[in-house]
Structure 1
């Protein structure tokens, strides 16, 4: 039987795959390290988007990033959704599957928004149980991202960073550390973003997100629009120093410029990296979830390893 281990290797600097860039990518085959897709954009597609994705997946590592898992909802887990998620991951040899620490709907309705949760013991227990179930269904690790938020619950009894740290350890899952979200939330809720990043267990961090945001004067909104600001780059540098380097991706989802502009923005990350840091090769647990077989081309940056007993 398989005795899986959850580990990771740094994929390098990647870009979110968006349809407006399909033609450029197919024609020029740019020297980008990897791509991240929005899972829901391809789960039910059998047409050109899926065909293009398969062509790209044959040349580049692909990571799946979802927005509808709704891990924090009180609704039952959507097993049909998880089945589609698993099928897509297997077909494109996805390095890992990620989503957000949030809920997106209730009573079977999807709000298409990433809604915040209260940070307390009851919610933590609820999430840990659901994460373990999802990992068993997917037969691969789940990686969860810290959200940006604009309100807080009076029922919260711990900080977001404490909650996410305990969630990752107790559920034995990976973390996607979005440093832009950390900064946005720190401004909105007046906490120290440096303390937040220092509290996150570095060995759990599998991936990092960078993005631009919109400053509304009294608050920030995570719009994925525009270039990364200096405070976020500084937080990225701290994250990089603490983790030793993880797969880093730029999100740009509004007023999307030509591909070379987006790619150039993520390449700025090199300026904030310490070249003397060792390459990461850490493992989270001996009791995680299994590595599915894959027919796609092999790549050295595989996320999951498995031992045969």
Structure 2
């Protein structure tokens, strides 16, 4: 296990280093000037040049990249040009919304998808299977931002059960609390989970049906085990490898793809911070946030690889 883990960690480090170079390089070639954005269109060229020198924008790109990497190794993400505060504080504040939102959406996705996929597979080619897959197809076709607007119209405007947007905070001292915060994240999480649950349900159904055709399943049934016992005790674990793969990709997508839903519900999350920073040409914030999202995706994929080895030890043995 140590060699398997070491190889995965080495791959993780190399991938993050490559991602940092790509992110920095792409942002460097974008048009625009952060100093010009901060000074305004009527500022003199001398004032813009002086501010650029103060921000370090006049230095060569390779030197700024090395300074960025050195700062990240010490936990320093730099200072935001637009907000005038450390980027680390901004990111940590916004992650307090984005990460719980992604976790809640992933929990809803997993619960709905596994239940629907196993139910459909256990009733293969019957009305339950056909109806569940029809609903899954509809769920795949619905854009999550459009579904989010429908949820707002129904539960916020008409029924007035939930707020149409905003986030009260996790602290009761700020007028929020655990229950109000979870309540504010429920509709965004549902809008994110519907499409992902539909995709995962179809994958779960296909994986379970494939395992149900294996010889060991017929042997277990021949020994007198019930269909339910075979399904939950033998089939599900062997069908989980492709399902876990999709779950890992979906969770990474939820972390990196909340920007639209956060703007629909006016949530102060990481996606909204990236959107605002792009508009302000605040590249310090943008590159740190994008690299953080890339790191989350890579780390999730690494965790999925480790789950492979836990589910099926043959994968670890073959990799070594």
TM-score tier (shorter) = under 0.3
Larger Rg: 2
* Bigger strand share: 1
> Which of the pair is proportionally richer in helix?
2
